[in-house]
Amino acid sequence: MKYLFLTEENSEGLSEVFHTLLLPEEFVPQEMIDRWNTLVSSSPITARTLESKENVAIGSIWDEESQGLVLTEGADLDKVLPITDNYLAFFINNVLTGALTITKSTHALEKFRAAVARPITVVSVDDESDPEIGYIYNGVSFSKPENA
């Protein structure tokens, strides 16, 4: 399954694919696929860049006041991600549901910060389908960017 991450619709009802994730179903645990499918069915969702944050683990709760994550009671500490990395994190009702490690380059962080400044949508498509970063979505179908 391929997951496409879309910016919020603009005034013309168009979104842009700003990131993709390929999860080959034959190699990925069903639990992981179920989590990403939950992001699809719950879209639009909140996404954040997490830079050197503590307690980055699936199921952690985002605390708006502290702008940090709180581990849930009984959390598996072996599944807490390293504080030294940066993440693109996806939340449903402030619960961390998915996270991707992102490069520490300033350009990449700025790109992701801009893309997730507003709610995003996650869409799933077949592994072999065409849409990639830069494609435009009109709510029904994808089209190549005009400069492609």
For residue range 37-84, list pLDDT tens digits in order.
Answer: 999 999 999 999 999 899 999 999 999 999 999 999 999 999 999 999
Instruction: Evaluate if residue 148 carries a pLDDT over 90.
Output: no
Structural domain including 69 reads 2-125
Instruction: Evaluate if residue 111 carries a pLDDT over 70.
Output: yes
C-alpha–C-alpha distance, residues 37 and 54, integer Å: 26
- As a whole number, the mean pLDDT across the chain is 93
Count the domains in the chain: 1
Token pair in block for residue 112: 């992701």
Does residue 137 belong to any structural domain of this protein?
no
Return the C-alpha torsion angle 97, 121, 133, 135, nearest 10.
160
Using 50, 70 and 90 to split pLDDT, how confident is the model at 104?
A: confident
Backbone angles phi, psi at 76, to 5 degrees: -80, 105
One-letter amino acid at 103 equals T
Instruction: Evaluate if residue 13 carries a pLDDT over 80.
Output: yes
Tens digit of pLDDT for each residue in 77-102?
Answer: 999 999 999 999 999 999 999 999 99
Does residue 147 belong to any structural domain of this protein?
no
Of 120, 97, 113, nearest to 46 (Cα)? Answer: 120
pLDDT of res. 146? 80
Mean pLDDT of 24-36: 93
Of 29, 35, 26, nearest to 122 (Cα)? Answer: 35
Backbone angles phi, psi at 69, to 5 degrees: -105, 145
Q: Is 35 helix (H, G, I), strand (E, B) or coil?
A: helix
Using 50, 70 and 90 to split pLDDT, how confident is the model at 144?
A: very high
pLDDT of res. 106? 82
Q: Which of 75-79, 102-106, 115-119 comes out lowest in average pLDDT? A: 102-106
